[in-house]
Amino acid sequence: MKLVIVTAVEEFRKDVLNLFKNANIHNFSSSDIDGYKNGSSILMTAGWFPGEKFSNESRMFFSFTEDDNIDALFQLIQEFNLTLQTSNAVRAVVVPIERNI
């Protein structure tokens, strides 16, 4: 069992849900996150308006699942990213689980 973490801009939320379904990953969690392309504190404080936002609305999905499902998910994500006309590709990482209860 491993932990797979997927991040995507909010626009791709439904697409990622379908990718998980097609990879046979039915149990997962998600969370709203703010994605930043440049975390420079100078850029973040240089705005004219204090409420100015320098982030993209994004989602993080994660699941504890088996290697076969992760392999399928990575293949599906790779194919999905090839069709994108944007620089906001879906990203994924795998974290091995040493112990669990």
Q: What's the pTM value of the predicted model, to 2 decimals? A: 0.81
Residue 67 tokens read as 């290697």
Q: Assign 55 a pLDDT band (cuts: 50, 70, 90).
A: low
> Which pLDDT score is estimated for 56?
74
CB 76 within 8 A of CB 19: yes
Q: Assign 42 a pLDDT band (cuts: 50, 70, 90).
A: very low
60, pLDDT greater than 60: yes
Level-2 CATH architecture, domain 2-96? 2-Layer Sandwich (3.30)
Residue 13 tokens read as 């939320």
100, pLDDT greater than 80: yes
More confident residue, 49 or 90: 90
